[in-house]
Amino acid sequence: MFTKIEFAVQMTCESCVKAVKESLFNVPGISNVDINLENNSVVVDTTLTTDQVLKHLQSSGKKAVVKGIEGILAGVAVLDISKEIQGVVRFAQISSNTCIVDGTVDGLKPGKYGLYIHESGDISQGCNSVGDCFNPKNYDCSSSSNRAYSDLGIITAEANGRSSFRFQDNVINLSDVIGRSLVVTEHSKGPDCIGNRVTCGIIARSSSLFQNPKTICACDGISIWDERNQPKSSL
């Protein structure tokens, strides 16, 4: 499914616009590109992950950051409990029964991992204080191929330690999970949620498309071009 993603791209002239256009031209998974030089804005209709689109934009030689994803409601979980494993996972509720989950996690050992929503947003003791997997009492798993509500599925880390993913979830509703936690676990073939928790983060509400006018961070005065830090490559 195509969704609109808005990026802030550092452009100063028409040659910058041309370079950005060329970086996205004829890329499979991108159907439309709207570039606004005055607002340093690039809006892309895509089925690709934000990380994939960012790589194409950055190939133009311009700095770029994600500003928002089209949807009824948007959320983001920053996974930074571990110094070694860090990432960003974005959520966009695009209809009453469809949520797009788009993320990049760095620093993992190659292999498969589970992605789960847990009950609590309490990360005062890291991933040990986020409670059990979140499964609403009124949720009937038999109507969804026996899937637990909290179970978002399996992600795979490549040889470089990065897992980049984008999928459509037709079970969760973002409004029910804002304030809870997203947990990455070692993959287990047993019951859900029993794998060791390797990283986690609170699912917070974030900007939807065209709702984020920020260019300077109010807390420290740093511009969006300078506040990007690796490995949080999707920030």
125 contacts: CB under 8 Å, gap ≥ 6: none
Say if CB 67 and CB 53 are below 8 A apart. Answer: no
pLDDT (average), residues 170-196: 84
**Amino acid found at 133:** C
Cis peptide before 191 (omega within 30 of 0): no
Cis peptide before 213 (omega within 30 of 0): no
Structure tokens that stand for 111 in this block: 């292999």
Q: What are 20-39's pLDDT values in tens digits?
A: 999 999 999 999 999 999 99
Say if CB 76 and CB 202 are below 8 A apart. Answer: no
Cα–Cα distances in angstroms (integers) from residue 214 to residues 72, 131, 199, 225, in the given order: 20, 34, 28, 11
Q: List the domains of the chain with CATH numbers.
A: 3-69 (3.30.70.100), 73-206 (2.60.40.200)
Using a pLDDT cut of 90, give the percent of the chain over it: 66
DSSP helix/strand/coil, 19: helix
pLDDT (average), residues 46-57: 93
Q: What are 95-117's pLDDT values in tens digits?
A: 888 999 999 999 999 999 999 99
Structure tokens that stand for 68 in this block: 């928002």
pTM, full prediction:
0.80
Structure tokens that stand for 233 in this block: 């490559």
